[in-house]
Structures are given as structure tokens and as C-alpha cells.
Amino acid sequence: MAFEYEGRPLDERFDFLLDTISSKSFQAMEGLGNEAPFFICEFEVEETNEMYKAVKSLDIRLAQRGIRVRHINLYDLCIEILKSEGGLWDVVREEETAFPKDQLLEDFLGTFDAETQLPTQISDKTKDKDFDVLFITGVGEVYPYVRTHALLENLPTYVHRFPLVMFFPGKYIQTLHTGAMLKLFNRLNDGKYYRALNIFRYLP
């Protein structure tokens, strides 16, 4: 039976995540068919600070069980890319208020290419394979410059040999009529995506 997570306090969801991610079936990526081992861990926007603290605690508790975590924060990764783009980070910091918002968005979308550049950067940071599960955070912080569904659509080409858990501030809604969609902040439709699993519904 799936874990009835909605309305449960964070500490109970934390215990579920700890037991699930450290389980042999999860580490062996069982019960996924031919799909990539991608999981969405949704949470309420108001819980963001608490969830990020929980993620750090999860890193530690999993390590105690012999599970190695690689953690990539999308916001930090985007800053890293800006800093590598010929001093673009300094320009953005100094002149951000002078940039028209539409132009800023257009420039950032070109810099943070979710089809190849970001997946390639993530692949580069995981190619040593010296870990057991990948955590991705910072989803809300990079919106709308990075769209979650676009990133997830393209990541399987680059990252697919280990479980990936994306911590998502909002809802991952799956119905027979509408299919699946990511609803960022529980109000913005970030696009349809059906290949990931809600980790709280994982039944190997």
C-alpha cells in the first residue's frame, strides 16, 4: 500500500524517505519497467526551509546506512554557469535592475539550456559514479529560467544509471484524464511530465 503522505507531518515523511531510499529495492531500481529511475518528492512551498534542513539530515542518516548521496542544487549550478560565462555573473549582479525583465528572461533561458547544457553539467558532476542516489534541489529558486519538465525530459539521455530524487515545491499531479503535470508552488503549471514517479507512491 502506498504511503498516505498528504497531511502527514514532515518528520513522518522524512522517516518514509529514509527507509525507502535506503531499501534494497530502491537501490536496485526495481519496479520501474523501462522508465528512468526518476522520483519527485513534492512538498508545500511553506515548508521549503524545513524541507531543505530535512534533506541535509537525510544525507547524514543515509550515509550512516551506507548510502552515498550526491546533491546538486540547481540555483547553485546556474550561478556556477554564469560565473563561467565570461564574467556574466558580475554583469548580472551589477546591472540587473537596469535590464528589462523580458530581456533578462530571454538571456537566462539561452544560458540555462535545459535540453543540453544543464543535463551535460549534471552529467559531468555525476560521471565519477561515486554515489548511490542523486538529490536535486533548488527547483523553485531557478523558475522561470529553468523549467522542471524540460530538464526532466532531457536528463535521461545523460543521467539514467542511478536513482534521482527531485525535491519539488508544489504538486506532481497524475490523473487518468489529464495525465501528469508538475504544478510549481501548487499554482503554476510547469508543464506535463509523466515519466517520473511520486516517491511517496513507490511500490517496487
Q: Can you give the pLDDT at residue 195?
A: 77
Q: What is the pLDDT of residue 98?
A: 58
pLDDT for the residue 41: 95
d(CA 131, CA 108): 30
pLDDT tens-digit map of 79-98: 888 777 665 556 666 555 55
pTM given for the model: 0.86
- Give the per-residue pLDDT at 83: 77
The ranges assigned to domains in the chain are 34-201
**What is residue 43's predicted lDDT score, i.e. its pLDDT?**
94
CATH code of the region 34-201 = 3.40.50
pLDDT < 50 stretches in the chain? none
Q: What is the pLDDT of residue 63?
A: 97
At residue 28, the pLDDT reads 93
Residue 175 has a pLDDT of 64
